[in-house]
Amino acid sequence: MVKRTHDEGSVEPDSQGPPHAKLRRDSPEASPPEPMRILSWNVETPVPFLQLPATQARSATGAGVVAGSHPGQLRELLRRHDFPDFACLQEVRARHTDKQWIPALRLAANYGAHDTGPKYTLFHSLNRAPRGQRHFGVATYAREPHTVVAAREVEWDAEGRVLILELQAGWALVNVYALNGSEYMWRDPLGHAAPKTRNERKREFNRLLLEECVALQRRGLRLVLIGDFNISLTKRDCFPRLRTEYPHGLARAEFREQFIPGLDVVDVFRELHPQTRAYSWFAKGKPQGKDCARVDYALVESGLRENVVDITYLEDPAERGQSDHAPLLLIMKGMTVADQSSQGSDAQDVQEQDEAE
């Protein structure tokens, strides 16, 4: 059984899957609800906004990064962008055994003793390795956790690269931190899978994620995938050049010709802004724009394309702080439950004690 992780509890759907409502169809007589906002950000390391004990801080600090140096950084980002409904972080660099990191991650989105803004609930998928360096890991913060009926990791990933939230309104938010392909070796943190190159694992990861998402669709869930996919789709998405040589070209071709059509999803930024150059990754130590790529995406099922209001890459260096990635902000309408009151008895209880603590 895959562990369902939540900062307050665990969610275990029944064998038929959790109950879901239909997406809201706004009535012309009623005032339309506020659009839903999803922020996604590969933080590279969260330690500047994590308040950790001194021993943990020393082991977590990289060159030029001071643990706890900016404890309000994440909360300030959320406030600047009107407290999004969901905030999806990648590369949170924690393990399931890091008892002190999980409360620190929870606090980071809610920091401020006198802050009157909304509070967030933390869901996470973390590296299951019992020891070793802290890498990988994703976290999704929900402003209204009662809308989440299931939160889960996936059985085929032990690095904490995928987190799925199934929403009461009949759609799934999939937070993704895909591998960056290279010829270096990839090793399963639990030692269950045979070693292979990171390029081989990257392609395998994409195939497994495709299968996982197809299973969600078969259960009637619409898809919103967001995060760092570590792949650029076109020449317009890179500067100075797109890597077309093997095996990068092969991984890209499979992603464009199998993954995207296989799930019937669209790159909504390119749909809305077909000629615009925007980037989400910037090489450190170089002037902005001299070495950059768009590798973070929102991939939305085509049936939800009309629900997309806009998507923006927050490229200002002040927005990305210590990270080499810029956050992105996706805005969608009509993504809430059609009749919230009628769903109250069906939503599963998510207020149990967190197994990870």
Asked whether residue 81 is marked as a ligand-binding residue, the answer is no
Q: Is 325 assigned a ligand-binding role in the annotation? A: yes
Q: Which SS3 state, helix, strand or coil, does residue 292 take?
A: strand
Q: Is 157 marked as a binding-site residue?
A: no
Determine whether the annotation assigns residue 98 to a binding site.
no
- Of residues 85, 140, 152, the one with CA closest to residue 330: 85
Residue 123: both structure tokens together: 């869901």
Which distant-in-sequence residues (6+ apart) come within 8 Å of 222 by Cβ?
Answer: 23, 170, 171, 172, 301, 303, 304
228 among annotated binding-site residues: yes
Return the active site residues.
Answer: 177, 228, 325
Q: Which residues pair with 140 in a beta bridge?
A: 88, 123
Helix axes 73-80, 101-108, angle to 10 degrees: 30
Question: Which residue type occupies 141?
Answer: Y
DSSP string, 222-285: EEEEEEE-----SGGGEES----STTHHHHHHHIIIIIHHHHTEEEHHHHH-TT----SEE-TT
Neighbour-count burial for 209-238, b at 16+ CB within 10 Å, e otherwise: bbebbeebbeeebbbbbbbbbbbbbeeebb
Is 110 labelled a binding residue?
no
Listed in sequence order, the residues at least 6 apart from 244 whose beta carbon sits closer than 8 Å to its beta carbon are 252
Strand, helix or coil for residue 137: coil
Query: Residue 26 and residue 241: Cα distance in Å, rounded?
Result: 44
Annotation: binding site for Mg(2+): 42, 91, 228, 230, 324-325
